[in-house]
């Protein structure tokens, strides 16, 4: 195997690991949005059931942050983008 092929294989392994490793979509608390606003966002964007959205919202409120969804980076990125478009602070960790 040539050096170029070895480098390409290593890059593919790194990309596969990044895409297959489970990450968490973390939502952070703020002092601006109402509970109903956050609950509606979690239902619309993350496809939570109402009970799950309410529980996540309480966790965010009392603990300062909560992981609201688990998946690959590629799966979570569109949700993070949509939450941010609604002025909610979300990151993938």
pLDDT in tens, 8-60: 555 555 555 555 689 999 999 998 999 999 999 999 999 999 999 999 999 99
For residue 47, CA distances in Å to 12, 17, 21, 53, 78 come to 31, 26, 21, 9, 13
Residue 55 domain-assigned? yes
Residue 4 domain-assigned? no
Residue 79 domain-assigned? yes
CB-count burial class (<10 Å; 0-12, 13-18, 19+) for 22: exposed
Residue 73 domain-assigned? yes
Residue 17 domain-assigned? no
Residue 41 domain-assigned? yes
Range of the domain at 42: 22-92
- Indicate the DSSP class of residue 50: H
Q: Look up the pTM and report it.
A: 0.78
End-to-end alpha carbon distance in the chain: 35
Residue that the structure tokens 């979570």 belong to:
76
Give how many domains the chain has, as a whole number.
1
Residue 64 domain-assigned? yes
């Amino acid at each position: 195997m040539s050096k170029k092929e070895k480098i390409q294989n290593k890059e593919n392994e790194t990309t596969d690991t990044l895409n297959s490793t489970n990450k968490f979509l973390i939502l952070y608390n703020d002092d601006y949005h109402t509970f109903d606003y956050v609950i509606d966002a979690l239902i619309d964007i993350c496809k939570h059931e109402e009970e799950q959205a309410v529980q996540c919202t309480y966790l965010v409120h009392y603990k300062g942050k909560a992981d609201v969804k688990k998946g690959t980076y590629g799966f979570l990125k569109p949700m993070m983008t949509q939450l941010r478009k609604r002025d909610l602070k979300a990151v993938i960790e």
